[in-house]
Amino acid sequence: MRATLHFVFGKPGAGKTRLARELAGRTPAVLFCEDEWLAALNDPITSLPAYLAASRRARAVIAPMATRILALGTSVVFDFAANTVEGRAWVRSIFEAAGADHVLHVLEVSDEECKRRVRERNATRPAGLYFGDVSDALVEAVIPHIVPPSTAEGFTVSLGSGA
């Protein structure tokens, strides 16, 4: 059986981290959580441009590791927001280079529910799910940049509600 790269599409608060952890536990797979990397390697990220810059740096380090892990036959779960065509192309480059399978998990959650969940996460700061406050304004700033996957991208898709 070939290794599989699992990755997730969803707005902030959609449940990407929860799903990624569930997938990594039952697959089994190596989990790469972008928020953990960014929290450990950067000052608090308070703007979209700062996030994008930090994310590019982390992805440059993670890509060769993930490719090698997949090539060795171990599945990988990316807890990265696969929310743009470019971001998904980056993931494709990894699973194709490794000769691995893939599944794009799509979480469909309303904007209001995502904001409610983010506010709850900010208030409760659950271990492993909280890496810094995310404001409603930041969620609203991110949402217009999110591009749902299209069938033309050719991914194997699994739909979910983020519950």
Predicted confidence (pLDDT) per residue in 85-125, tens digit: 999 999 999 999 999 999 999 999 999 999 999 999 888 87
At 31, which helix (H) or strand (E)? strand 29-33
| Higher-scoring residue by pLDDT: 47, 17 | 17
Task: Give yes or no for residue 36 having a pLDDT over 90.
Answer: no
The structural domains of the chain, ordered by start, are: 4-160 (3.40.50.300)
Residue linked to tokens 């994310």: 55
Whole-number pLDDT of residue 106? 97
**What's the pTM value of the predicted model, to 2 decimals?**
0.89
Stretch 66-91: mean pLDDT, rounded? 96
Whole-number pLDDT of residue 124? 85
Assign 77 a pLDDT band (cuts: 50, 70, 90). very high
Task: Give ∠ CA 95-79-39 in degrees, rounded to 5.
Answer: 125
Whole-number pLDDT of residue 99? 98
User: Would you call 6 helix, strand, or coil by DSSP?
Assistant: strand
User: Would you call 51 helix, strand, or coil by DSSP?
Assistant: helix
| Higher-scoring residue by pLDDT: 28, 42 | 28
If you average pLDDT over every residue of the chain, what do you get? 90
| Residues facing 138 on adjacent strands | none
User: Would you call 30 helix, strand, or coil by DSSP?
Assistant: strand
**DSSP letters along 53-110, please?**
HHHHHHHHHHHHHHHHHHHTT-EEEEEEE--SHHHHHHHHHHHHHHT-EEEEEEE---
Cβ neighbourhood burial of 78 (10 Å; 0-12, 13-18, 19+): buried
| Residue among 40, 84, 43 nearest 62 (CA) | 40
Give the other-Cβ count within 10 Å of 20's Cβ: 23
